[in-house]
Structure 1
């Protein structure tokens, strides 16, 4: 993809974000904290502990919805910052916009468990101060099938995927081949009338091979799943859907597209706490 096309898609994302925020009909903003001790990084033989601080905003409007998340990740000394001085720090930003066809055409398009159809567009940005010095720039876009019911929602998306990055070891920019991603996300509720309701949420992405990396090695298909079972402890104090805590799990195979090797597979138990405003 040319630089003009890549930049144009990013601009379209930003335009959609600005339009939809101004017409928001509902929104939810939360801050969160996650912690795990078995994160992995490619070529690193160690299990890495990370503190992750997150800010998430979700909003809906008469055309669709927006999702924005920024994570600030602090690794322990086993994932060192370049030049030493402690563990590496990373900032990772994700934005996604959905244009829902049922809302646009003001017509019910769903049937059975399908609640609607949408077009999803989004981007990822990151920066990390380790020796590799990644600078992820991702664009994704494609159709989404939306499912809904009394227990919550789920999305299934078929996405075009394009990534640019940076390899600090070789000191080169990396323009990966265009490929595809199949992604699903869900948010389900259980025991809503009980003193401690449960929420089961998460996502699962499969990203196909994206050509060669910055070392000239062929990449492999990447699988990333992250899911949490959250307990609505705020309901006890009369603040339902406000304070949630619970365990989580991350599975990451061929991390960043690296083929099986040291540090390319992670199975990480986590703890998460979040407060909604």
Structure 2
């Protein structure tokens, strides 16, 4: 599939089934969150970086699928020149069973879907100043577990235009990503284990003509439902301990300084 074709299909998936369907939402969950860690890593920067991250998240379901949007506002300390970044993710998943009225269940799979969307960011203050644009499209399998687990294989059409790039916006090779997203309650303890895993194949040469390496990004959190314990509503307020492992961050080979991040975090969320 050509990058232009894939990009058009992903835009159609996002536009045709995206925010317009939110008006007919059957359920929704919106939250504001905060996470903090002191051991964030950025490629080519030898320091461990302290970051505070504020996020806005919205998830909703309608007759034929789900919409997800998350916006992170990341604030670094002086070890990254007090850099600021906004990173936005949007995904729409069309449930093929709901669209066709047929069952796509087999084995542990309870249904199939089609996921499309985009990532976009803007960062200022560091030496790179990323301006990422990425379209995604691919199939999703819904796994039959307590809570939820989805497995997607997505094709990525990614470009970037950092301040230091020699020739303007650079488009990487079209490349696949294996994506897992899960939310697993732990009995009736008020605890849940949630997160995502991305395995991203090499995306060809970078903006400077060097090669890229496959990435592994695992972000997982053990959450506790404070809202129920405090009598103010289930999952209204949650606190958690998180950990992110990101090998070959942004496709930088393992030989690059701090291309692998190992970051414990504390987290809190308010849902409304």
Q: Which residue of 2 aligns with 1:84?
A: none
Instruction: Please show how residues 1-277 of structure 1 align to structure 2 within 5 Å.
Output: 1=2, 6=7, 9-10=10-11, 12-80=13-81, 87-129=82-124, 130-149=126-145, 151-171=146-166, 172-192=168-188, 194=189, 197-238=190-231, 239-260=233-254, 261-277=256-272
Cα-to-partner distance string for 1:224-252 (whole Å, 9 max, x where unaligned): 11000000011122211111101000000
Gaps of 5+ in 2: none
**In structure 1, what is the Cα distance between the partners aligned to 2:250 and 2:220?**
19
Gaps of 5+ in 1: 81-86
| Change in 2 beyond 3 A, CA 1:12/1:76 | same
Cα-to-partner distance string for 1:49-103 (whole Å, 9 max, x where unaligned): 10000000000011010110000000000011xxxxxx00000000000011111
TM-score (norm 2): 0.94
TM-score (norm 1): 0.92
Cα-to-partner distance string for 1:172-203 (whole Å, 9 max, x where unaligned): 321101011111110111132x4xx1111100
**In structure 2, what is the Cα distance between the partners aligned to 1:112 and 1:262?**
44
Determine helix, strand or coil for the equivalent of 1:10: helix
When the two chains are superposed, the root-mean-square deviation of aligned CA atoms in Å is: 1.6
**In structure 2, what is the Cα distance between the partners aligned to 1:164 and 1:110?**
36
| Change in 2 beyond 3 A, CA 1:4/1:114 | closer
Paired positions, count:
267
Cα-to-partner distance string for 1:106-136 (whole Å, 9 max, x where unaligned): 2332244322100111110000002211111
Contact 2:3 2:157 in 1 (8 A): no
